[in-house]
């Protein structure tokens, strides 16, 4: 790989004798990985039997194609193995309040959701309007129930969420040096000046992010760069300017090593952070640190969530009829409408009226004239074992379904909505009329499945 000269000079100086192996790693293949979704069951053996990532039991080395049943249903999420170390370090407990501040495309958000197990509150934010759409699609596909998706800047979030979160994840925008092997295009915009620009932006982000950690809470900071300016030196800056925070030791396995105090101010506390080098472990370059705030009194956020409009009597009846008949009852609370769209909003939110809320919660469906049409997101968040009306479909029927086609059944079941299930996985809602299953797979997500897509999977 034709690495930038300034990059080679810098890391020859920093790494010394280790530089040869470090540079050689850029000419070795990049590894792929995926995580299984703990909310899904009956996964095929070839997925669960693949080699496990050392620090994440849900993570495996291997690939899963985007045009496969397991990917479309949200049973798996493709993620680079080193990136899994971030979520595994955060490891939120069920019921906690979590913020993923720089969340797109959604790999770390969905990982955090796996730990929350459908409980607590997950606020996931992305400042870029185009990227927040990708984030929403991935959160939806993974069947995350407890997420609110925001499209905001950190300085607009901190006044709304002072001292609020049990854990804040800052996967900071960075110079991307750790991704050179996987994405050589990242070298096109790299320079020594760009590293300094990224560090300045990270300090701005951290200034706001630290305000949102509750007393006794934690902030997990990560980058995908080797640059000390963005890693050890960033943590040294936090420790100097925010004495109420201290570093917590991170468990290091699978070739993960201590961070380098000698690359910052020499404070031995910096060794508690972690570095992931591609010549020492199976994955790309990352830096991860865990900061903890001292215990104390927290501010009380003012107001309560004001999102959407309460349901009318007719809307509530339409939803309840659908829920009882199809879903099998409803444990959904905090139901609101945004125009004609129905959402289940997680509990415990402050007033978000001043923020741009991209998704206020799980999308349940749409109210149309005298009827309710369930959402794709609700289907992927449903457990087929608990749904009242399911319809098992074949692989060929699934291929027709994701292509946007109707298909015909050999016998006619009761008319109405069904959760379509293929190989034990929820894939969407279909409406049965006679022997025909009408297609409601979202038009923007439709695709054609080829035999090569299936045979090459994993």
Residues tagged active-site: 224
The first and second tokens of residue 375, run together, are 């959402």
SS (H, E, C) the chain: CCCCHHHHHHHHHHHHHHHHHHHHHCCCCCCCEEEECCCCCCCCHHHHCCCEECCEEEEEECCCCCCCHHHHCCCEEECCHHHHHHHHHHCCCCCCEEEECCCCCCHHHHHHHHHHCCCCEEEEECCCHHHHHHHHHHHHHCCCCCEEEECCCHHHHCCCCCCCEEEEEEECCCCCHHHCCCCHHHHHHCCHHHHHHHHHHHHHHHHHHHHHEEEEEEEEEEECCCCHHHCHHHHHHHHHHCCCEEECCCCCCCCCEECCHHHCCCCHHHHHCEEECCCCCCCCCEEEEEEEECCCCCCCCCCCCCCCECCCHHHHHHHHHHHHHHHCCCCCCCEEEECCEEEECCCCCCCCCCCCEEECCEEEEEEECCEEEECHHHHHCCCCCCCCCEEECCHHHHHHHHCCCCEECCCCCCCEEEEEEECCEEEEEEEEECCEEECCCCHHHCCCCCHHHHHCCC
Radius of gyration of the chain (CA): 23
**Phi, psi for residue 112 in degrees, rounded to 5:** -60, -40
Do 157 and 208 form a contact (C-beta atoms < 8 A)?
yes
**Phi, psi for residue 213 in degrees, rounded to 5:** -85, 125
CA distances, 220 to each of 168, 246, 273 (Å): 6, 12, 10
How far apart, in whole angstroms, are the C-alpha atoms of residue 37 and residue 25?
Answer: 31
């Amino acid at each position: 790989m034709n690495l930038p000269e300034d990059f080679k000079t810098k890391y020859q100086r920093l790494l010394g004798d280790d530089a040869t192996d470090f540079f050689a790693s850029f000419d070795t293949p990049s590894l792929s990985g995926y995580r299984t979704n703990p909310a899904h069951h009956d996964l095929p053996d070839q997925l669960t039997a693949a080699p496990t990532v050392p620090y994440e039991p849900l993570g495996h080395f291997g690939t899963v194609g985007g045009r496969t049943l397991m990917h479309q249903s949200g049973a798996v999420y493709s993620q680079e193995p080193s990136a899994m170390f971030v979520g595994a370090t955060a490891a939120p407990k069920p019921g906690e309040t979590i913020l993923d501040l720089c969340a797109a495309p959604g790999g770390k958000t969905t990982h955090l959701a796996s730990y929350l197990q459908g409980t607590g509150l997950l606020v996931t934010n992305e400042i870029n309007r185009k990227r927040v759409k990708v984030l929403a699609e991935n959160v939806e596909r993974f069947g995350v129930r407890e997420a609110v998706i925001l499209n905001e800047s950190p300085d607009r979030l901190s006044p709304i969420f002072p001292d609020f979160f049990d854990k804040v994840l800052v996967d900071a925008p960075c110079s991307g040096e750790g991704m050179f092997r996987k994405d050589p295009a990242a070298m096109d915009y790299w320079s020594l000046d760009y590293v300094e620009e990224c560090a300045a932006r990270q300090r701005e982000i951290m200034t706001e992010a630290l305000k949102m950690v509750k007393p006794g809470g934690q902030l997990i900071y990560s980058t995908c760069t080797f640059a000390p300016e963005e890693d050890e030196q960033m943590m040294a800056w936090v420790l100097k300017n925010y004495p109420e925070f201290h570093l917590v030791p991170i468990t290091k396995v699978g070739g993960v090593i201590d961070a380098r105090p000698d690359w910052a101010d020499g404070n031995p506390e910096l060794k508690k952070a972690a570095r992931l080098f591609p010549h020492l472990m199976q994955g790309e370059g990352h830096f991860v640190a865990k900061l903890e705030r001292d215990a104390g009194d927290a501010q009380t956020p003012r107001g309560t969530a004001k999102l959407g409009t309460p349901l009318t009597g007719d809307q509530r009846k339409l939803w309840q009829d659908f829920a009882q008949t199809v879903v099998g009852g409803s444990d959904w609370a905090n139901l609101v409408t945004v125009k004609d769209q129905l959402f289940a909003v997680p509990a415990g939110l402050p007033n978000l009226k001043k923020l741009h809320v991209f998704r206020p919660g799980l999308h349940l469906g749409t109210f149309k004239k005298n009827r309710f049409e369930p959402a794709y997101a609700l289907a992927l968040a449903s457990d087929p074992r608990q749904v009242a009306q399911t319809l098992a479909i074949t692989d060929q029927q699934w291929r027709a379904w994701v292509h946007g086609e109707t298909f015909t059944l050999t016998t006619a079941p009761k008319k109405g909505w069904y959760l379509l299930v293929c190989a034990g996985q929820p894939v969407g809602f279909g409406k049965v009329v006679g022997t025909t299953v009408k297609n409601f797979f979202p038009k923007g997500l439709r695709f054609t499945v080829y035999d090569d897509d299936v045979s090459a999977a994993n």
